[in-house]
Amino acid sequence: MGILNDGFSASPMALTVPVVSKFPATATVTCVSSGINLAYGQVDGKLVIGENEISISTVNCMYEFPYGDIVVGTSESLQIFRDGNEISSISHETGIESISGKGELAICIDGLGRAHILDSTGSQVTLQETSVLFAKVGPHIAIATESGTVSTYSHEGNKVWERPMRGDVGERITAIGWNQSKLVVAREGHGLVPGDEEALEVEIWNDGQLEKRFDVNRRVVSIEGEWMGLDMGGVMHGESIIAKLDHPAHTIIDMGDKALVASWFHLHRVTIDGLQWAVETQGMVEHVSANKDGTAVLIAGSDQNDYTEPEPVVLIDSTSEPTSLVEEESALDDWGEAPAIEIDPDELYGDTTSLEEIAGVEPSQLSDTSNLLDALNDEIETQSVEVEEEDLMLALSLDAEEIIAPRPDAGGDQSLQAEDDGTAIVTLDARNTEDPQERIESWSWVDESGKEIANTPAVRVKLNRGNHRLELRIKDRDGRWSSDSIDVRIE
């Protein structure tokens, strides 16, 4: 069992690197690619590859092959572009939600959670897996599913290995990645006995054999090479925490002895000595891509403000000489305390739907702000709960030293029909969570990337068409975390 080192070092002064260029966006940017080409896609179907602008269906994701061809996943298909021209197209009725790749192979996940191998010639092989959460290309193709299974496949699509399950229930894979020939798996296992702490571990597998397993005590949400990003703020190298961050490190780009790490409104460069510099952008760093030597790094993301224009795509050179943060004109002022809700504005508000329309009232009916808030929360009003006398007597008779751990309840899975704009309002309600001793101190709803979207038991959010996995996390007064997840499908 390895020992997690909680020590970390940080730069003695705040440093940054200058912004090289900015590219205007006309709608929410959904993906970027930086290689031979500089490319990005938008939710409105605008695809930019170098000097070329192409109009297609909603762009969800992209990956660039080593020689410059770009594979693009849309709401309808997989398309490959060369020099700004489409050379291949494969229809996908449920769309392509994500693409990851390495070299001349890409692995694509569609709207039904199926994984497809795509090579540089445009040939596609569909794997016999469903409900795929993560897919990573390495010596083999690693697949993790919602049910907790991890498997590897050859580059031709033949199954090679499947990780043995640890217990029948209570396990979830939070991230996978390759460290050269070794497969790294981050898992969380929930204690089956009330009061037990959840297990947060990393496993290292080499040629189908378990080489090492160690506790991390934090949830790992991203893995690249020897680098791991934590959702409770930090970056690990091997088994040691080498940098502390205040927000989830949801994206890592491995650059050997250093890494680029996306967290909140910053892109950080990290080495084993700690944080080296950070670039702060107007939008949250949601999409990052870098070329091989790090001289061209594209950054995109929304500023979470529904009343401003889409934020530009930012280009930096990560090899530039860092300067003091106060001397960098492109750096923004301190944002102050972070807001409680961190969700893409198109998911929460939509493009044109007003708060009055969401609440189902006419503007003339709103005499003040409180009326609007009451209308918005009409479905999640706090309701008084009558405690049965027997339950009350049982609670009073418990031994003072006996601890009954809270049991999170995120509710049941949901399937909703999208409105004409392709979105639906979803009520997340955790008020059935069991907490007889009132031990819960904090609530958190997070999305698939580990981003917090609310910190209350009940909330309503607007989600786009597709499959969404949302997780409820609670922390009790002893600092123990436990969680429950639901799947939401918007058709």
Q: Which long-range contacts (CB under 8 A, 24 or more apart) does 348-357 make?
A: 348/306, 348/453, 348/461, 348/462, 349/306, 349/462, 350/421, 350/423, 350/462, 351/421, 352/421, 353/421, 353/423, 353/462
- 485 in Cβ contact with 468 (< 8 Å): no
Q: Is the pLDDT of residue 428 over 80?
A: yes
Once rounded to an integer, what is the mean pLDDT over residues 197-209?
A: 88
Classified as helix, coil or strand, 327 is helix
Kindly report, residue by residue over 300-341, the tens digit of the pLDDT.
998 766 556 889 999 999 999 999 975 434 333 333 333 444
- How far is 291 from 480, CA to CA, in rounded Å? 41
CA distances (Å), origin 125, targets 135, 153, 452 = 14, 11, 35
Q: Can you give the pLDDT at residue 457?
A: 87
Kindly report, residue by residue over 402-422, the tens digit of the pLDDT.
778 888 898 888 888 888 888
Q: Can you give the pLDDT at residue 342?
A: 46
pTM (predicted TM-score): 0.67
Once rounded to an integer, what is the mean pLDDT over residues 19-25?
A: 94
Once rounded to an integer, what is the mean pLDDT over residues 147-169?
A: 89
Kindly report, residue by residue over 289-302, the tens digit of the pLDDT.
999 999 999 999 98
All domains of the chain, ordered by start, with CATH?
15-340 (2.130.10.10), 355-490 (2.60.40.10)
